[in-house]
Structure 1
Amino acid sequence: MQKVDCLIVGGGIVGVAVARNLQLTFSHLKCLLVEKENILAKHQTGHNSGVIHAGVYYKPGSLKAKLCIDGLKRIYEYCDENHLPYRKCGKIIVAVERDQLARLDDLFQRATQNGVQDLKMLDSNQIREVEPNCRGIRAIHSPHTGIIDYGLICRHFGKSFEQMGGRIALNFEAEKFLPSGDASYPILVQSTTNSTFLSRYVITCGGLQADQLATLCGGSKNPTIVPFRGDYLKLKHGTDKLKINGNIYPVPDPKFPFLGVHFTPRMDGSVWLGPNAVLSMKREGYGLFDFSIRDTIDLAFNSGLRKLAWKHLGYGLGEMRRAYSLSATVRELQKFVPALATDDVERGPSGVRAQALSADGNLVEDFVFETVDTGDLKNRILHVRNAPSPAATSSLPIADMVVAKAKECFNL
């Protein structure tokens, strides 16, 4: 049976960044990354909007705020050092109604507290200078927001990890974490096909499966992961009248947990519009009608989800309507890009976001890390329990934090 010093579960950008950083920091360790799919970046990393976030939205002092600010700087540096493509195309957050101006001002103050660089408040004429097709009363302009292919970055992290001596095992779906009886390698990790490894330590970065992996290892039941599918539209090719230079976002409503539908240019030259946020009946289901009996039962018995749904029933119904109606989504986007027409768009890809939910029905706002501190595997396992947006932007500093926690917990 193969033996390793540390086994990392999860081949998304956070898991691969953690594996790479661990191998970089402790070059003598024998590190193994396992991923249940046949490629890295199969799920959240490969289905997100590809935005490099600047840190505008997050509560001052939170991990999201701190790590996003650092992450933006470091992802650009990493790309420059390794000749990887990105575009620093900027972003505007547009107020189209006067009752949104106070929220826009609050957002500007929050971003300033977070240390977001070179922010400007634009008037209506300046908005058109940045985005000729956009209309609004005022807007925040964040020039350092960018776009990138996070799947490409994740795979590059993986290549770097392997070059340092790390190993990647694809098609390994971890199913059991058991005491091995071996004092030196006390954790037996078994896959659904009965492949096994012995390890001294385990770090899980499971994304959409984060809660299930944690409970398999003896971790706490909460927070649970609730999957929200986001459906994008795309501008049709040849829609020259609607040139979009950068990211265009609405002013978010703080009563609701999502940022609203927006325009996002892509590295391939396309423009995505959206996403909505609809409860998914399958954790890794990207189609409108994808369904999993097991995942649906989990949702049905999640008391926290029932509380969340009751609080945001009207919002949820609106998101459902936009999921099935192109015109409903277009109407939202026309509020700040009025020239957009339903004939200009077509259905695009979808992604599923892992949102951690507390037992009292509140979405967990910040990144969450947890160590297993009881039982036979005490101080041997570390979990990344919640890593929603801006985790991709923040992946390098998140990896620093996880490795620092591993050093302390595992006494490396």
Structure 2
Amino acid sequence: MTRVRRIVVIGGGIVGLATARELARRGDEVVVLEKEPRWAAHQTGHNSNVVHAGLYYKPGSLKARLSVAGNRSMVAYARAQGVPVDVCGKLVVATTSREIPRLHALAARAAENGVPARLITAEEAREHEPEVACVAALRVESTAVVDFPAVCAALVRELSGADLRLSTPALAVRGRGGKVEVATPGGVVRADALVNCAGLHSDRVARMAGLTPAARIVPFRGEYYELRRPDLVRGLIYPVPDPTLPFLGVHLTRMLDGSVHAGPNAVLALRREGYRWRDFSASDVAEVLRFPGTWRLARRYARTGLEEVLRSFSRERFAASLARLVPAVTSSDLVRAGAGVRAQAMLPDGSLVDDFLIQTAPGQVHVLNAPSPAATSALEIARHIATQV
């Protein structure tokens, strides 16, 4: 008779909850520890709610494989659970002729990754988005918008038989007699294995568990505006990404409630959970400044980083970036909206970890880099993790 394993999952975002669900479905007894008083409190609850198609990622990478599969499984799961989801598709637009080769390269990558996408003319693009300005575009049909916090609520309902603990931070981790012990304010949780899905604190949890993490989490805040005139955008409009830069650039997303969000601008957060400039942690900042990768990244992207900071303080600069895509957008159309913080893993040489990063030790699995498209891929990441526990 197979013995039931007890597995403790640290982190109650969408990846942690999806992993707990997958382990429970396989017959394991699961304990989930979440330090906040609610589920999906950080990255999951502060993102654009886009279910990505998987066209941007290096063919064969975990991101490419799991996001393409995750697009299908997340939409299917949302529909099965009665969670609002809209498969609206999106446009990636070339605003100048210089961007057309990059657009064609992106189309080729989409084909290689198995993403349904087609190149269209400017006239065809305006049939989808009458206000868009472009010389050509890529139409991506499988991109969707979903309520990710509602997905987490559905996962919690499915985990009704599990031991789910809110307001329960992990204070210490140690191995003992082939088991894992996690100290919490309510006592010690003993388990056969540990899965670390702590997001913004994943590297700290890994060190707490005796692992030397391959990368350091550096928090980047993504700042959003909302359009006063949502009728300017029907769906999702993205720029052609610059492959020499680490992020996609500001874009426009119609949400499920009909509002249109613009962003994100990307700046270094001054706290791991720093959603505003005034959110400051001296210890978090000191940790970032002591890390050699921070300075190497800053030198590599000094001009881009300065532009992001200036745009953070200037509604006019932000509007100008959006007007490249939709010329009718002006600064008076923008209203400050929420922000998210991306848990970006960085290597000591200053390079950002491009793929999902999962590091293992005996009885332990640590998810050390799972920013976007992790929410899209959550059910697939969960299956991948479950095979490694």
* TM-score bracket for the superposition, by shorter chain length: over 0.9
Of 181, 184, 187 in structure 2, the residue corresponding to residue 195 of structure 1 is: 187
- Paired AA for residue 188 in structure 1: E
Superposition pairs of residues 141-180 of structure 1, within 5 angstroms: 141-162=139-160, 165-180=161-176
Of 124, 127, 141 in structure 1, the residue corresponding to residue 125 of structure 2 is: 127
Task: Please list every run of at least 4 consecutive aligned residues from structure 1 whose deviation after the TM superposition is greater than 3 angstroms.
Answer: none
Distance 2:92 2:22 in 1: 34
Percentage of identical aligned residues: 39
- Aligned residue for 1:89, secondary structure, equals coil
- Aligned residue for 1:337, secondary structure, equals coil
2:83–2:147 Cα contact (<8 Å) kept: no
- Note the C-alpha offset of 1:243: 3.0
- Aligned residue for 1:42, secondary structure, equals coil
- Paired AA for residue 199 in structure 2: G
Alignment-derived partner of residue 388 in structure 1: 371
Distance 1:228 1:136 in 2: 29
Deviations 1:101-151, CA, capped at 9 Å, x for gaps: 11111000001100002x121111111101001010000001110101111
1:77 paired with 2:76, answer yes
1:4–1:198 Cα contact (<8 Å) kept: no
- Note the C-alpha offset of 1:286: 0.6
Deviations 1:267-315, CA, capped at 9 Å, x for gaps: 1221100001100110001112210011001011010111111100000
- Aligned residue for 1:174, secondary structure, equals coil
- Paired AA for residue 403 in structure 1: A
Deviations 1:209-266, CA, capped at 9 Å, x for gaps: 0110111111114300000001100012xx26x4311110001111110000000111
Mind listing any 5+ residue stretches in structure 1 that lack a counterpart?
373-378, 407-412
Alignment-derived partner of residue 60 in structure 1: 59
Superposition pairs of residues 5-404 of structure 1, within 5 angstroms: 5-26=6-27, 29-117=28-116, 119-162=117-160, 165-180=161-176, 183=177, 186-191=179-184, 193=185, 195-236=187-228, 239=229, 242-372=231-361, 379-404=362-387
- Aligned residue for 2:85, secondary structure, equals coil
Distance 1:82 1:380 in 2: 32
1:235–1:345 Cα contact (<8 Å) kept: yes
1:222–1:359 Cα contact (<8 Å) kept: no
- Note the C-alpha offset of 1:179: 3.5
TM-score (structure 2 length as normaliser): 0.97
Distance 2:257 2:37 in 1: 24
- Paired AA for residue 201 in structure 1: A
1:232–1:273 Cα contact (<8 Å) kept: yes
- Aligned residue for 2:307, secondary structure, equals helix
- Note the C-alpha offset of 1:36: 0.2
- Note the C-alpha offset of 1:175: 1.5
The root-mean-square deviation of aligned C-alpha atoms, in Å, is: 1.3
Deviations 1:178-202, CA, capped at 9 Å, x for gaps: 244xx47x322112x3632111211
Deviations 1:355-405, CA, capped at 9 Å, x for gaps: 100111100000111112xxxxxx111111111111100001100000001
TM-score (structure 1 length as normaliser): 0.91
- Aligned residue for 1:208, secondary structure, equals helix
- Paired AA for residue 164 in structure 2: I
2:90–2:236 Cα contact (<8 Å) kept: yes
2:95–2:325 Cα contact (<8 Å) kept: yes
1:4–1:197 Cα contact (<8 Å) kept: no
- Paired AA for residue 149 in structure 1: D
Distance 1:126 1:208 in 2: 41
Distance 2:372 2:33 in 1: 23
Distance 2:104 2:213 in 1: 39
- Paired AA for residue 250 in structure 1: P
- Note the C-alpha offset of 1:4: 7.8
- Aligned residue for 1:136, secondary structure, equals coil
Mind listing any 5+ residue stretches in structure 2 that lack a counterpart?
none
Distance 1:386 1:405 in 2: 16
1:136–1:336 Cα contact (<8 Å) kept: yes
Deviations 1:17-50, CA, capped at 9 Å, x for gaps: 0000000012xx3211010000000000000000
- Paired AA for residue 83 in structure 1: G
